[in-house]
Chains A and B, each alone.
Chain A
Amino acid sequence: MSDSGQQTDQPLVDLTRPSPPAAYLAEVWRRRDFAILVPVQDLRAQNMGSALGQLWHLLNPALMVAVYFLIFGVIIDTSRGVDNFLGFLIVGVVWFHLTQRVVQDAAVCIPRNLGLIRSVQFPRILLPAATVNGQTAAFAPALVLALAAVVATGERPSLRWLALIGVLAAQFVFHFGAALLVARIGAAVPDLRQLLPHVFRLLFYASGVIFSVDAFVTSESWRRAFALNPIYDVITCARWCLLGEPVDPWVVAGMLVWGVVLLVVGFAVFWRTDQRLGA
């Protein structure tokens, strides 16, 4: 057997030690295609067996909004204090649904991919990143639907709409941070997955999805308390952009601060345990 001396002098390194954050992030960036293309393929696979196929990505949010409008716009009227209730409702429902899907999927992204984690070496942060990217891509048809519905109900595009890009960016940061944190907790405590639907049922009412907090909540300090809920903040900012609904500076601040804090905390927590996630 031949002995090529080329690599003989390479030192041995401890393979169980985590790589430093900078090297870790560089590796994540190098492998970003994984977190972008794989979830898109999964979205395709989702509806491949159904008769209407990829149309479901548009039909699903449309039907969801239709049901909510039937209940809260027609049967129980919660439209007090809102001029364009259909537009108000559609923004609330599709935006809330996005956050719910991101967080609930992130909670299972580690256990669901355990086989992959145990057989292939890659920065595990790509899994929650893929979750966020996939759900954000799935949100695109819902966003188009919301824009169409808002225009159809009499709103006219204005410069304010451009601010929506900023809201989408801020919510992406918030989702990414939340996904990292939840993915880490969900990997350690699988019970989280059972708990989350109930948390979101509560958040649904605490986020003003189906009613205007300004119209229903009279106390100033209670209204301030709503600003502590990042989902309410994002929805309210999106409504300001598209519908001109009023927005409090605290709400904008809440959205930005939550995003940055969750991203920093989420990354720190996730990176530290990256190599132990296969256990």
Chain B
Amino acid sequence: MDPGRAVTVRVDDAHVYFRVYEDPAAGIKQLFSSGRTARRYQTIRAVRGVSLDLHESETLGLIGANGSGKSTLLAAMTGLLPLASGKILGRSRPSLLGVSAALRSALSGRRNILIGGLALGFTRAEVESRMDEIIDFAGLRAAIDRPLRTYSSGMRARLNFAIATARIPDILLIDEALSVGDQGFRARSAERIDEVRSAAGSVVLVSHNMAEIEESCDRVAWLDAGALRAVGEPGEVVASYLDSDAAR
């Protein structure tokens, strides 16, 4: 790694905890014996003391078993999740790729482009001026006026990616979005990600596809039970991850 390269995001000893209420089979006896009515909860430590720097023109891969805290760390990097302790610093706010949560399955693809674009901070005029570009990028020209619920999951994912990258962000966080779509779409989306890097931005890529990680990342971080187990060269980190119990 080039040590002199500027930092775009700094994760400094970040902890993210979730409070999860238990779902006990409480009987009347317990209700009276416990004195107070506080419900029992469990604190899930999803991210435990992660420190990580992200640099200009870098793609960082984030790997780990299910439930190791990858998605939580990604969400925390946007500043959207409250931290239990630690800091997230950035030169601009990273954007998580994806607007699927904003989309309405009853409405057409075209209306969803409007809704998704507005959620991402475009004005109506900005969305409308990019409408054709987004439709073509998603390759959905024929289906664009059909309700979203008639789309296949691949078509939905393409639409989602096309809306989300309509404006190239400075720092892009991707949570397993690239393995969707056909060959042509994958090539186009890889191009978009290169655009971010060539504009001196940073990309974080969460994936279980190790070939994809090795192919597109400059550095890989391995997250294990909420803590960093290793950070370094993609080949080495992926190899030791695959050798470990976590990958089995």
Binding site for B on A (CB under 8 A): 1-4, 6-16, 30-31, 33-34, 37-38, 41-42, 44-45, 48-49, 113, 115-122, 275-276, 278-279
Contact = CB atoms under 8 A, between A and B. Distances in A.
Contact of B89 (A8, A13, A37): A13
Contact of B198 (A2, A12, A122): A2
Given A4-B199, A10-B92, A12-B91, A118 B80 contact: yes
Interface stretch (B97-105, B137-145, B150-158): B97-105
Contact of A120 (B7, B102, B170): B102
A20 to B, nearest CB: 15
Contact of B87 (A14, A113, A115): A14
B104 A8 contact: no
Contacts of A276: 82
B198 A119 contact: no
A119 B121 contact: no
A208 to B, nearest CB: 38
Contact of B57 (A1, A49, A118): A1
B56 interface: yes
B75 A121 contact: no
Contacts of A8: 6, 56
Given A3-B2, A12-B91, A119 B106 contact: no
18 contacts: A1-B57, A3-B2, A4-B57, A4-B199, A4-B200, A6-B200, A7-B56, A8-B56, A15-B90, A15-B94, A30-B123, A37-B114, A37-B118, A38-B118, A41-B104, A121-B79, A121-B95, A275-B79
B189 interface: no
Given A15-B89, A37-B114, 15 more contacts: A3-B5, A7-B200, A10-B6, A16-B79, A16-B83, A30-B121, A31-B118, A31-B121, A41-B111, A116-B101, A118-B81, A120-B96, A120-B119, A121-B78, A279-B81
Nearest to A276: B82
A275 B88 CA distance: 13
Contact of B120 (A3, A4, A12, A120): A120
B167 interface: no
Nearest to A116: B101
B119 A11 contact: no
A30 B68 CA distance: 37
A48 B88 contact: no
Contacts of A119: 75, 80, 96, 98-101
A45 B123 contact: no
Contact of B90 (A1, A3, A13, A31): A13
Contacts of A7: 6, 56, 91, 170, 200
Interface residues of B, number: 51
B169 to A, nearest CB: 11
Contacts of B122: 33
A55 B122 CA distance: 31
B81 A33 contact: no
A119 B102 CA distance: 9
Contacts of A6: 200
A119 B124 CA distance: 21
B95 A45 contact: no
Nearest to A48: B106
Contacts of A37: 114-115, 118, 124
A243 B147 CA distance: 45
Contacts of A116: 101-102, 119
B124 A33 contact: yes
Contact of A14 (B7, B88, B120): B88
Contact of A121 (B89, B91, B93, B100): B93
B124 A275 contact: no
Nearest to A114: B101
Q: Report which residue of B2, B93, B102, B170 has the largest number of chain A beta carbons within 10 angstroms of its beta carbon.
A: B102
Given A4-B199, A15-B78, A278-B81, A120 B107 contact: no
B10 interface: yes
B104 A42 contact: yes
A31 B9 CA distance: 25
A13 to B, nearest CB: 7
A121 B83 CA distance: 16
Contact of A3 (B57, B91, B124, B170): B57
A109 to B, nearest CB: 14
B118 A33 contact: yes
A233 to B, nearest CB: 34
Contact of B104 (A12, A30, A45): A45
Nearest to B75: A118
A123 B122 CA distance: 14
Contacts of A30: 121, 123
Contacts of A279: 18, 81-82
Contacts of B93: 15, 121
